[in-house]
Amino acid sequence: MNHVSAGRTAVGLRRDLEILEVLRSPEATRGSGLSVTRISELTGREKSQVSRALAGMREEGLVDRDPGTLAYRCGWRLYALAAATGESRLVHMASPFLRRLVSQIRETAYLCVLRGHNVMTLLTEPSPHAFRSLGWEGLTLPVTQTSAGRVLISDWEDDIVRTSFSDGVMQPAPSIPPLRTVDALIRELRLIRTMGYAKVDGELEEGLVGVSAAVRDFRGRLVAAINVGAPRSRLHSQLDAAGRLTLRCATQLSRALGYTGSSIDPGTERADATLHAGS
């Protein structure tokens, strides 16, 4: 590509970015988008130029057009790219925190996110034990059957939970105690909010236990969960101590992401000694 072609490409890219900046403005996001005429006014460009640019960006999924009003909004591809970028940063930042947690608990730790009504693992930090649950990255499981899933929906309002789940789908594997109704799930989510972490015993697979705690970003949004899973024979007697350590780890990662909300329970500072005393 010669210098003239490169310059034209750069100018075109800058102009497209100007349009995208306008479409992410409060005026666009509060309403149903912006018309070609309004975008032309805000960017100071000819309406025909804006229309051609929008047509090209629409083909690539960078903008969407409302079929009724013909107003434009930011498109699905931008949100997909933003999500991928955010999750890549989350994985990068979470890695040392998970390694530290594994060194304390000596069990496998996971970083999980919400995908609809499922929970997906983004990162696994294996334990030094022979028992290792590897290969979970990218796989999904129902939120109601895992401690990570329950944490990820723990800030949902009761009415949202009721419209999202039904007793008919609340039939996990044998659990202790069973979580088979939406009312039971709502009670569990309230308990998680009180304790700061979730725990499960044999609900995903017989003989396995787990604990999870929430990770929040600088806006206070619940963006991920840190989970620890292990055989019941190794961790059951220290499950609450592991939960407190996991909560502390999740809170430290949240702080690194810019979260400035309420601090963790001071009791977590005693979790190291409690956990290792029985190991």
Which helix H or strand E contains 200, and what residues bound it?
Answer: strand 197-201
Q: Which residues pair with 119 in a beta bridge?
A: 114, 141
122: pLDDT strictly greater than 60: yes
- What number is the average pLDDT over the span 249-268? 78
Domains of the chain, earliest start first: 3-74 (1.10.10.10), 78-277 (3.30.450.40)
Distances (CA, A) of 117 to 142, 143, 165: 6, 6, 9
Q: Which residue from 182, 275, 221 is spatially nearest to 90, judged by alpha carbons?
A: 221
Answer whether 236's CB lies under 8 Å from 201's CB.
yes
**What is the pLDDT, as a whole number, of residue 3?**
46
Complete DSSP assignment for 126-193: --SSS------BT-EEEGGGSHHHHHHTTTS-HHHHHHH--GGG---SS-SS---SHHHHHHHHHHHH
Residue 248 in this model has a pLDDT that exceeds 80 = yes
Mean pLDDT, rounded, for 175-193: 80
54-97 pLDDT per residue, tens: 999 998 888 999 888 899 988 877 766 766 666 788 888 999 99
Residues 108/127, Cβ–Cβ less than 8 Å: yes
Query: How far is residue 14's CA from residue 7's CA, in Å, rounded to a whole number?
Result: 11
What would the two tokens of residue 131 be? 């028992």
Burial group, residue 143, by CB count within 10 angstroms (0-12, 13-18, 19+): buried
Task: Please name the residue that has the structure tokens 């009721």.
Answer: 162
Residues 243 and 107: their CA atoms lie apart, in Å, by 12
DSSP states of 33-51: -B-HHHHHHHHT--HHHHH
Strand partners, 65: 72
Residue 80, Cα to own-chain centre: how many angstroms? 14
Model confidence, pTM: 0.65
pLDDT digit string (tens) for 199-222? 988 776 778 889 999 999 988 999
Calpha distance 52→257 (Å, rounded)? 39
